[in-house]
Amino acid sequence: MKDKTNACRPGNKYILLMVAIIVLLTSATAQKKINPGEVWPDDKGNHIQAHGGGIVKIDKYYYWYGEQRRQGLDTGLRYVSCYRSKDLASWQFMGDALQLSDPEHLGSNWVLERPKVYFNRKTKTYVMYFHLDDARYKLARVGVATSNKPEGPFTYRESFRPLEKESRDIGQFIDDDGTAYLVFESWPTKGFFIARLSDDYLKVEKEVCLINAPLEGGAIVHYKGLYYAIGSALTGWNPNPNKYATAKSLEGPWSEFKDIAPPETNTYSSQSTMMLKVEGTKDTTVIFMADQWKPKTQWDSRYLWMPLQTGDGKLWLPEPKPWSIDIKTGKVQF
């Protein structure tokens, strides 16, 4: 007679094995959430300090650079932080990539804002641009610093007005063919310039377009054959309704600017800094990266990152809520 208990055993083992595999698979695919507007702890548990930042992907890592504004910094120096991640949700603090003392005798409360880093594959150099200014925002230049490692230390090289124009908020755009552009806001001309960098990225070489609209915080993405540009109005640290326009070519012509979110939300209290495109095996996702500034407690300023609804010339920022992205497939989950 067959031993029924024994006969069952292989079945039990099989079920247990299946359960274990399912548990493993689910935990492997459960992506960590990004929580717009919340405190965002890094690998050491500290709120990420990468304000007015930018992201560049180099091989398997995303690097996030931004304004380092933690409490207790030397008030005479300005700092740019560096974080890295493989999944855009968990960030490892790599230290302060740049520590700079007043490089052009700008006086107290001098300004270093919105740093952006490009990696030049030919020269194997990491090239950082940032907005350099005096307390009254009259200098209106970019500063350039370089390093041979992504986490720095970066060495200051020089400052200048790109294309001899006044330059304040800067943005970074790398096109699908790898061409690197600096986006910079210019007051007298009331608009933002899109300008191509030189081969070594150390100079701003050629004006590609002036988008003639009084906007700053310029961000650009190329998505399904169309360029999308986002900018915010000039209201300092206070949020306003950010807007977008589209063009078939970077040179323009650019469409009229339209709201990216219900205007009464003031872009859900945020200001644009970049659009990041994640091209996965199944989906291409464009992430709106914005700052929720707290001018009196800058170290506590938050980040509003949300996947945009983009396509067919339309762009829309949905109401913020926790979400996650699978970097491999590019798929977003709420």
Task: Specify whether the CB–CB gap between 140 and 166 falls below 8 A.
Answer: yes
* Separation in Å, CA 32 to CA 43, 87, 232, 283, 333: 13, 8, 29, 18, 10
By CB under 6 A, name the one of 36, 52, 162, 171 that touches ligand GAL.
Answer: 52
Sign of the dihedral through C-alpha 277, 319, 273, 259: positive
- From residue 101, alpha-carbon distances to 80, 133, 244, 268, 276 in Å are 12, 13, 36, 35, 31
> Binding mask 218-257 vs ligand GAL (x if CB under 6 A, - otherwise)?
------------------xx--------------------
| Nearer to ligand GAL (CB atom), residue 112 or residue 226 | 112
**What is the closest distance, in whole angstroms, from the C-beta atom of residue 209 to ligand GAL in the complex?**
20
Residue type at 305 in one-letter notation: W
Residue among 217, 218, 239, 320 that touches ligand GAL (CB under 6 A): 217
Structure tokens at 321: 């809520």
Backbone angles phi, psi at 149, to 5 degrees: -130, 145
In angstroms, what is the minimal distance from the CB of 167 to ligand GAL? 12
Could you tell me the smallest distance in angstroms from the CB atom of residue 114 to ligand GAL?
Answer: 6
Q: Which residue is nearest to ligand GAL (CB)?
A: 236
In the complex, what is the shortest distance from the CB of residue 333 to ligand GAL, in angstroms, rounded to a whole number?
A: 31
Residues in the chain: 334
- CB contact at 8 A, 157 and 103: no
Instruction: Report, in Å, the least distance between residue 45 CB and ligand GAL.
Output: 27
- Of 192 and 254, the one with the shorter C-beta distance to ligand GAL is 192
Rg for the chain, CA atoms, rounded: 22
Least CB distance to ligand GAL at residue 26 (A) = 41
Least distance (Å) between residue 113 CB and ligand GAL: 5
14 binding ligand GAL? (CB under 6 A): no
271 versus 324: smaller Cβ distance to ligand GAL = 271
Among 114, 116, 165, 302, binds ligand GAL (CB under 6 A): 114
Sign of CA dihedral 101, 104, 107, 112: negative
Closer of 42 and 169 to ligand GAL (Cβ)? 169
Among 216, 292, 303, 323, binds ligand GAL (CB under 6 A): 216
The residue written with tokens 């007005």 in the block is 161
169 lies in the site for ligand GAL, by CB under 6 A: yes
Applying CB under 6 A, what is the total number of residues that bind ligand GAL? 9
In 169-270, the DSSP E strands lie at 170-174, 180-186, 191-197, 204-211, 216-223, 226-232, 243-247, 258-259
Distance between terminal CA atoms of the chain? 55
Which residues 275-334 are close enough to bind ligand GAL by CB under 6 A? Answer: none
Residue 96 contacts ligand GAL per CB under 6 A = no
Give the one residue of 113, 134, 151, 326 binding ligand GAL; rule: CB under 6 A. 113
Closer to ligand GAL by Cβ: residue 14 or 237: 237
Q: What is the DSSP string of 130-146?
A: EEEE-TTS-S-EEEEEE
Token reading at 333: 């989950």
Residue 41 or 236 having the CB closest to ligand GAL: 236
The minimum distance between CB 238 and ligand GAL, in angstroms, equals 9
> Considering the complex, what minimum distance in angstroms separates the CB of residue 241 from ligand GAL?
14
66 vs 162: CA distance, rounded Å:
21
Tell me which residues touch ligand GAL (CB under 6 A): 52, 113-114, 169, 216-217, 236-237, 271
